[in-house]
Structure 1
Amino acid sequence: MAGKNILVVEDDRALAGVLEYNLSSEGFSVTCAMDGQDALNQARSKSPDLVLLDVMIPVMDGVQVCRQLRSEASTMNTPIIMLTAKGEETDQVVGFSVGADDYVTKPFSVRVLLERVKALLRRNERMGDGNDMICVGGIAIDRVKHRALLDGRVLDLTPSEFRLLDTLIRQPGRAFDRSELIDSALGTDAIVLERTIDVHIRSLRKKLDQSADRIETVRGIGYRFCESQ
């Protein structure tokens, strides 16, 4: 993974320096931003492979930045790990609902954070391995181009929503429990709440519009994808 570019968005200069030093020591190229607007400018110009995004930053907070990054074609699939002193369940749900891939609460172990960065980068790289195209009931998944289509129309999915749909559609009819979906769609390295999957499912169904019913709720278990409505 040497050479991958990481954008660190953190207004605490001491912490930003620690992150930059440790990421650089692992062979990453590091760009730093101190506020939300600078973060957007750096992301647009540098096209980072991953963003470490603090929530409580000046000018524009991390939630707004994450939402904006997900709305732009050049960064919509860029992995984002949110860093925050907030540890309440509702804060995590908000972070994931705007498209964050992982959520780390301060204070944290830099070593553990580095492993989560590597795990998320590996997971994104694996998305291009084998079975690159699949189409079921008008919904198509293209792993090479990292996009999903509904009746030929490109769906505006976050990376987590894309992986979730990819996981479900490749085994239609199978009931996945929430912990399986966390492992398959978000990764075994992710430390998230099971209800986070419900947030992703609600958002995914909304984007599937008339095909939302293809993702069925399996009472007491989780979810499954149906080939026919």
Structure 2
Amino acid sequence: MAGNSSRITASPGRRSDARRNRERILVAARAVFADHGIDAPMATVARRARVGVATLYRHFPTRDALVRAAYARQMETCDQALKEALADPDAWRGFQQMVEKVCELQREERGFPAAFVAAFPDRAENDAQVREGAERDLLLLIRRAQAAGGLRGDFHPSDLAVLLLAHCGLVTALPHDRAASRRLVAYLLQSLRTEAAHKPLPAPSTLSLRSLPMAEGPHGRRSSGS
């Protein structure tokens, strides 16, 4: 009986250790990704977390799994922001608040922009379906905001990718200057209003959220799943 009792009481302790290790890995991952990009070596994350590489891989078998877990809260916030924007009876206000929320997350976590782009890899069919659903919702929001007269009629979905890339460049160069970030976002949003459309724009970019160069690491390598 004593032997059984010791095994039973040890289990919660092991689970507690595992939870602590998992949280340490996630904290370390966000710090490492902010400094070195999401293609930073997994061993660097393990060292920062002060755990073995084997321990890291037990919790997160692939890089994608680690990136997703590290920024799960931010991705959930983005999903919720899009849902709230679609539910807002004022389509322009919904669009504006969604953009502001995503840019706020870019300020909050410097590694998040690349994670945002890499969140739904093409190689996973279910994830691709989720991403395509989000893209359809975004297109619906854009069309609603245009139909309501708030968003300029020549706004193209690729313009959102350009906007996020521009803001990413600012927060990368000036990570602590919140005032500059908010002012840039305000400038960009004002330029998207219908009343700002005085002259035709050049042709839209071919960029999309899934093709932004933010998904590349510091050495120009696109992040991989391992």
TM-score category (smaller protein):
under 0.3
What is the TM-score when the length of structure 1 is the normalising length?
0.27
Bigger radius of gyration: 2
The structure where helix makes up a greater share of residues is 2
The structure where strand makes up a greater share of residues is 1
What is the TM-score when the length of structure 2 is the normalising length?
0.27
The structure whose RCO (Cα within 8 Å, separation 6+) is larger is 2
